[in-house]
A and B are shown apart, each in its own frame.
Chain A
């Protein structure tokens, strides 16, 4: 079992709709959870982090964390073509000082 799992996609969403990206993790003691956006040929860019169960909103982005289900999600409202990218879920485990990344979900926003 991979430590951090994501569907590779591609996920195709019409412009203006809500994009929903999901991630599960294996270490039940994980403490910190991150979403990174990566455009093709570029390095990852941190867009959200969350530590507590529930929702955290930042502009058009909402991160959701459910530690009991070991599940993290990212919602993007009013999707724009510029949101087309690969979204990486990342988790800091209970005993680790490093962040473990999933393989990413490719998101495509169609006009």
Chain B
């Protein structure tokens, strides 16, 4: 296990379709994060899991977005009824958090979504 794996790398979809992305974190990492990044901006937080529990979800995230992490292993991010504004790079990251510190994330290569 050499890093965070994301699939697919690229996804082109028509507006209104549903899409699902997968993330496999570093195996010993207990936290998994989803971020979205658009051109010229930094990554924007979407949601995070500690083990299998989803502990926080961004208020900016609409109800069309849902994420799961069954059994605390891989995670999926689903976007329903995609809109052109959903076009972005979706980044998954994992980390090992101890106490109140965070040792930083390891990011996957990302999934680039284009909604046409």
Contact = CB atoms under 8 A, between A and B. Distances in A.
B43 A46 contact: no
Interface residues of B, number: 27
B104 A99 contact: yes
Given A8-B40, A32-B101, A42-B109, 15 more contacts: A32-B104, A43-B89, A45-B107, A46-B104, A46-B105, A46-B106, A88-B42, A90-B42, A92-B101, A97-B50, A97-B55, A99-B45, A101-B44, A102-B42, A103-B40
Of the four ranges (under 10, 10 to 19, 20 to 34, 35 or more), the interface on chain A belongs to: 20 to 34
A98 B45 contact: yes
B108 interface: yes
A34 B104 contact: yes
A102 B45 CA distance: 12
Nearest to B92: A43
Nearest to A4: B42
Contacts of B44: 101
Nearest to B48: A98
Contacts of B103: 49
Nearest to A43: B107
B110 interface: yes
A49 B42 contact: no
Contacts of A4: 42
A32 B41 contact: no
Contact of B107 (A8, A44, A102): A44
Interface string B77-116: 0000000000001010000010011111111111000000
A99 B105 contact: yes
Interface string B51-65: 000011000000000
14 contacts: A4-B42, A8-B40, A31-B100, A31-B101, A34-B104, A43-B91, A43-B109, A90-B42, A90-B104, A97-B48, A97-B56, A99-B45, A101-B35, A103-B40
A13 interface: no
B101 A43 contact: no
